[in-house]
Amino acid sequence: MFREVILNNEKDWMAIRSKVLTATEVSVILGLNKYRTINEILADKKDPKPFENSYTVIGQLLEPVVVASTNKILGTNFKLFEQTKDIKSFFLDEELKLGSTPDASDGQKLLECKTTKPGNFLRYSGWPPVYYLAQLYTQLLCTSLEEGLLSILSTNLAPISQEIRIPISIFSVSRSSKIDSLVISEVERFWNTINANKVFRVNRKQTLETEIILRCLTKRIY
């Protein structure tokens, strides 16, 4: 059973991160995230440490811009969960050992905020990275919501014409019982494997099927 807990400081966040898989890590165990490895996840569980680089800092600073831009375009009322850097809303199932920190919600849908450089923005506008989709999907599972939006904002905000057009792409992702079961079973398999002191290996035969289904659950709305 998923529940919301409020983490008041970085120490609490580090402690809980050592005990659960996060939405970003789920994309790794599904074989959908080429930027992280299983070994890196295991190292993080043993000794969780704060991580920041220029990309994560800029992304956090621009989250309010992504939320405001999405609301302006769609007429929605999304609000960030995090009011400060240290206070986080974390949704977790302690038995399953799965949790996530969604960016924003309007009470009915989630909003995942992403920013990227102009070259990536052009590529992502038609085909967003599947690990973004897996991350958002896991957040939906953790919050028991049925639909989420993925908004990707270009870091090049310079106007190119008199027409007001925010350089952002917005996608809608819906839930599927097939992906729900798949995520839960792989999270369970991960922890059962680790607890048995065995090596967890990604089910590559399942990876392609998962990506195809996630793509089918995604549609561009802006």
- Per-residue pLDDT at 11: 81
Strand partners, 220: 171
Listed as own residue / partner, the contacts of 212-216 with beta carbons closer than 8 Å and 24 or more positions apart are: 213/176, 213/178, 213/179, 214/32, 214/130, 214/133, 214/134, 214/137, 214/173, 214/179, 215/130, 215/133
CB 45 within 8 A of CB 92: no
Domain 3-220: assigned CATH number: 3.90.320.10
Q: Is the pLDDT confidence value at 84 over 70? A: no
CB 35 within 8 A of CB 56: no
The tens digit of pLDDT for each residue in 132-153 reads: 999 999 999 999 999 999 999 9
**Residue-range domain boundaries for the chain:** 3-220
Percent of the chain with pLDDT over 70: 91
Helices (H), 75-198: 118-124, 130-143, 177-195
The CA-CA-CA angle for residues 198, 203, 206, to 5°, reads 160
CB 182 within 8 A of CB 214: no
Q: How far apart are CA 101 and CA 4, in angstroms?
A: 10
Output the pTM of the full model.
0.92
Q: Is the pLDDT confidence value at 108 over 70? A: yes
- Per-residue pLDDT at 157: 66
For residue 65, give Cα distances in angstroms to 62, 70, 87, 130. Answer: 5, 8, 19, 23
